[in-house]
Amino acid sequence: MQTPIISPSILSADFADLEKSFKMLNQSEADWIHLDVMDGNFVPNISFGMPVIKSLRKLTGKVFDAHLMIEQPERYIHNFKLVGVDILTVHYETQIHLNRTVDLIKKIGMKAGVALNPHTPVSLLKDIITELDLVLIMSVNPGYSGQKFIEHTYQKIVETKDLIEVTGSKAMIEVDGGVNNENAPKLFAAGADILVAASYIFNHDNPLKAIRNLKYF
Ligand code: DX5
Ligand code: ZN
């Protein structure tokens, strides 16, 4: 049976006890761990950065999927590699030289992703899609967990899937924001390979079960 990759975002975890959350994640069927880095400029919120990721790296062997919601992310690519990030995703809206940034991420030895805000059209990726490992479709406006899912996302997933097929790209499609047990099956059917979720998992009475709900519907 084909199942989505589940990448829990720790943004809704208890920051005073991340070790406990990582014990849960290690026991869970989560495939990756989604790390939301925010700078208070590109998005209104500030979350955490390299020192925190470096400490968390000691707690798990799972893939670190970092989502940079920061301006000029190209300044920090080496640093994220050094603290153990495996997949580095930058926002399209922050980039003048996206091709150079993607090249650098891959040269340094990470997988490269590009994230699109809800209003940014998929067609803007036409000339770079074959170089990407991942496209992250934002299904809320980035900055906070616990927001309402934007329905237009399904359409964008289908458009991304089409672009990938037409160009022969190997990019995977990740969806982030407002993902829960109700929309997960529809997102997977539309073509999403990876589902990110924070509040659905960490606010659930049983986070292990919540992760299973997203993976096996
Ligand atoms: C939003 C972040 C998301 C967020 C998702 O800016 O990129 O990863 O943590 O949170 P939920 O799943 O609660 O919408
Ligand atoms: Zn995210």
Q: What residue segments make up the domains of the chain, in order of their start?
A: 5-216
30: CB partners within 8 A, 6+ apart: 6, 7, 8, 62, 211
Known catalytic residue: 176?
Answer: yes
Do the Cβ atoms of 40 and 46 come closer than 8 Å?
Answer: yes
102: CB partners within 8 A, 6+ apart: 112, 114, 128, 131, 132
Ligand 1 pocket, 143 CB below 6 A?
yes
Q: What is the pLDDT along the chain (217 residues), one digit of tens a residue?
A: 799 999 999 999 999 999 999 999 999 999 999 999 999 999 999 999 999 999 999 999 999 999 999 999 999 999 999 999 999 999 999 999 999 999 999 999 999 999 999 999 999 999 999 999 999 999 999 999 999 999 999 999 999 999 999 999 999 999 999 999 999 999 999 999 999 999 999 999 999 999 999 999 8
CATH of domain 5-216: 3.20.20.70
Do the Cβ atoms of 190 and 158 come closer than 8 Å?
Answer: yes
CA 179 to centroid of ligand 2, rounded, Å:
11
Q: Which ligand is nearest to the CA of 147?
A: 1
CB-count burial class (<10 Å; 0-12, 13-18, 19+) for 61: exposed
Known catalytic residue: 36?
Answer: yes
- Residue 111 CA to residue 81 CA, distance in Å, equals 10
Note the pLDDT of residue 217. Answer: 87
- Residue 175 CA to residue 194 CA, distance in Å, equals 6
CA 49 to centroid of ligand 2, rounded, Å:
14
Ligand 1 pocket, 183 CB below 6 A?
no
Note the pLDDT of residue 1. Answer: 77
176: CB partners within 8 A, 6+ apart: 9, 34, 67, 115, 136, 137, 138, 139, 140, 196
How far CA 197 is from CA of 39, 94, 174, in Å, comes to: 20, 23, 11
